[in-house]
Structure 1
Amino acid sequence: MDQQLLAVGERIRSQMPPGLSQRRLAGLVDMTPDALSRALNGQRGFSSIELASLADSLGVDIYWLITGRADPLRVDVAARHFWDPVQAQRVNPGREADDKILEKVVAVYRDAYPDGPSVSPDLPAEPGAVRSRLGRDFVRRFAEQIEAAFAIDVLRIPELSTDYSLRIGGRSVILLTSTPNWFRNNWSVAHELGHLVLGHHAGRGVEKANEQPADEFAAALLLPEDRVREINWSHIDGTELAKFVWDAGVSTEALRNRLRKLRLKPHADASAALEQPTQHLLRRHLTTLRGYGAGVDAVVEREAESTGRMFPIRLIADLSHRVRSGQADPAALAWVLNVPVDEIDFPEPDDEAASREYEELLAARPSAAAWNDKLRLSHGNAAPW
């Protein structure tokens, strides 16, 4: 009796929900009850079609079903949605174009780490614990602090229409679009971190429903209730308000919404100031804030940092090594560095035989269609590209 087949059978049994009989499961996957029983008991093997049907019916990953291990190349994604007041629902109109960029990102990770990237550790469950790990004034270098504290990669790609978080194997990745509104990027990092903390990449068909919990996590992380309640909102002036926005790294809109949620009512002048765009509020008080560390140079610096293209140095280094050794596509590195591919230094064969071997190596790389068959993106619903 094959012990590996028995192990597959045990994993299948472990995922059968109460009330689902073997006879019923056999019908769902187009097997006879006898064939399923013998396979579960290690007396016959499963076909690839049967395993795929079982994984789909039980809602589990086929790689895990076969090996008992998490798929190091599995991909799940959650996206930030915008509220459309006309449709009265959250929308992501740029998703189709963004998917092409997400495919490139996944291809980069697969080229750099063919056996899967290193695993990000488990995250603290509470916003307060996350704040504690990130340290004081973390919003100033939010992306760097996220990477250092939690081994989460943060990428910034100008072509994206909105922000995303991915799980590539066991690695957590946050993708940001580029914008000079650094406070928007701060909120997006916190929002996507919320998706990761709350396990939204494992859900199915609930992507839009996950948006509010992720926003609530972001609010509690960036604007913790105790800190907000410390402020005397009935007497705060414009300069103090600007200082608070600067320190918290949030927009006037985010602060306005948080105050409303906590039922805190600022006085009329403060309420009027909170209706201003964030940059207007800060620039209006630059003179008084200059000695506080929020002068014009600091504002411009935050804006500049928020617009640049960004990939983790470690990822670039590992991908470069594989390109130089002829194991990865130089076009992937060219895209990451945003340079023409002919500027990438990669090995060129010395003779015709080596040239054929190198061409065969590149030709043997899985096609985009092959990767798409393996990718499982979740916007919450683990839908494949």
Structure 2
Amino acid sequence: MPSASDRVRDLIQASGLSQRDFALRIGLDDSKLSKSLGGTRRFSSLDLARIAELCEVTVDWLITGEEPPLALAARTTGGSAGAAIKAAKRYSTLRSDITALGYPQPWRTPTARINGGTWAAQGEQLAKAASAEVTQAGRTLDEADLPKLIEHVFGADVAVAELGADFDGLAVSSPEVKLIVLSTSHVPARQRFTLAHELAHLIADDDQGVHLDRDVYDKVQSRDPTEQRANAFAAAFLMPAERLTRAVDTGGFGETDFAALACELAVSPSALAIRLLKLRLIDAGTCDRFKAVSAAKAATLAGRGEELSRRTAAAAIPRAPGLLVRDTYAAYEAGRSTLRPYAALIDVEVEDLRDALESGSEVHGGK
């Protein structure tokens, strides 16, 4: 079987550079490169990072010779799904590389007992376990930044990217990568529901690979049992039965109370109305009346228009995975990686970032 040294040797030949020039390009003494190619010296993590950067390959491929499944999908899939897969490939490849350099993802699966039942019931059970993890971590779902909370509590990488209006998000699952990619949106409640939906796929281990969700509300897609479970999870996770019961049991649960609850939970009025109906906390007529309330009207009734405006603006902004940004910088700081991966994540030119870090001035994203 070809070794990492064999793959580097092939890359040198393909580059058209002499071995000496190749060594110079990666900041390595020619004699050390010769020893590594001959097997008497191991390539360091920084050597591999620099070779991967120069030759536009991944560290994972250099070590294992295996190309991630997403790489093929990214080359063959078009449209919004193609854009989503390309974003997922970028982040998952970097996560694999950072893992190979000694910075594994801190993924934590909630301890959940699934006692059979319908797929929807399983989603409810998983949601209770996930909610317990949030509570144990001292966090609350009332926090505005749900991606940051998911990263902190569960250790998943969460990104937001411009994927197009006809695509909600995806989840990537492998032994090394747990990644959620969401589409930017002008409907923050939908983006929030999608995040919970994708988290369910990761927790339930629905796919080893990539799970695409063009429309989490699609009726045809929802016939898939795993989609039913993911939707049930999202509803129960974002709208816990105990909290809804307390709100309704206070008495006099009218339209203003309903609007306030939708704003507190940061969910769409229609999703909340359907959840209340399924829990038998309201009747069908009240459900239809509440479903007619728009997000804007709910915010007005609850006096939370400014908050909705902030959430809407935040949902439209691309976001790099926070944990991946942290780990990529840590690898650079420890001398295990170059600055380029970190610069690419925060969308800053390498030289501008290097100058800023050395001078102590502020760094502004955007190339």
Q: TM-score, normalised by structure 2?
A: 0.57
Amino acid at match of 2:203: V
Amino acid at match of 1:107: T
Root-mean-square deviation (Å):
3.9
Amino acid at match of 2:345: V
Q: Which residue of 1 aligns with 2:243?
A: 227
Q: Which residue of 2 aligns with 1:7?
A: none
Among 280, 295, 298, the residue aligned to 1:278:
295
| Bigger relative contact order (CA 8 A; separation at least 6) | 1
Q: In the alignment, is the contact (CA less than 8 A) between 1:155 and 1:312 conserved in 2?
A: yes
Q: Which residue of 1 aligns with 2:193?
A: 187
Q: Which residue of 1 aligns with 2:262?
A: 245
Q: In the alignment, is the contact (CA less than 8 A) between 1:163 and 1:176 conserved in 2?
A: yes
SS of the residue 1:310 aligns to: coil
Give 1 or 2: higher helix fraction.
2
> Which residues of 2 match residues 38-117 of structure 1 at below 5 A?
94-115=80-101, 117=104
Q: Which residue of 2 aligns with 1:213?
A: 229
The superposition leaves residues 351-371 of structure 1 with CA deviations (integer Å, 9 ceiling, x where unpaired) of xxxxxxxxxxxxxxxxxxxxx
Output the CA distance in 2 between the equivalents of 1:173 and 1:318.
Answer: 14
Q: Over alpha carbons, which structure has the higher Rg?
A: 1
> Which residues of 2 match residues 342-381 of structure 1 at below 5 A?
343-345=352-354
Q: After TM superposition, give the deviation of residue 216 of structure 1 in Å.
A: 1.0
| CA pair 274-104 structure 1, distance change in 2 beyond 3 A | same
Q: Which residue of 2 aligns with 1:118?
A: 105
Output the CA distance in 2 between the equivalents of 1:197 and 1:270.
Answer: 31
Q: In the alignment, is the contact (CA less than 8 A) between 2:260 and 2:298 conserved in 1?
A: no
1:130 aligns with 2:130: yes
- Report sequence identity in percent: 20
SS of the residue 1:236 aligns to: coil
Ranges in structure 2 where 5+ consecutive residues have no aligned partner: 1-59, 72-77, 113-125, 214-220, 356-367
Q: In the alignment, is the contact (CA less than 8 A) between 1:108 and 1:333 conserved in 2?
A: no
Instruction: Name which of structure 1's ranges 185-194 and 223-232 shifts more when overlaid on structure 2.
Output: 223-232
Q: In the alignment, is the contact (CA less than 8 A) between 1:76 and 1:167 conserved in 2?
A: no
Q: After TM superposition, give the deviation of residue 75 of structure 1 in Å.
A: 6.7
SS of the residue 1:129 aligns to: helix
Amino acid at match of 2:128: G
SS of the residue 2:228 aligns to: helix
Among 148, 155, 173, the residue aligned to 1:144:
148
Q: TM-score, normalised by structure 1?
A: 0.55
Ranges in structure 1 where 5+ consecutive residues have no aligned partner: 1-62, 64-70, 78-91, 347-385
| CA pair 124-301 structure 1, distance change in 2 beyond 3 A | farther
What is the number of equivalent residue pairs in this alignment? 255
The superposition leaves residues 309-333 of structure 1 with CA deviations (integer Å, 9 ceiling, x where unpaired) of 2224442243245567584582x44
The superposition leaves residues 97-118 of structure 1 with CA deviations (integer Å, 9 ceiling, x where unpaired) of 3222222122322343335723
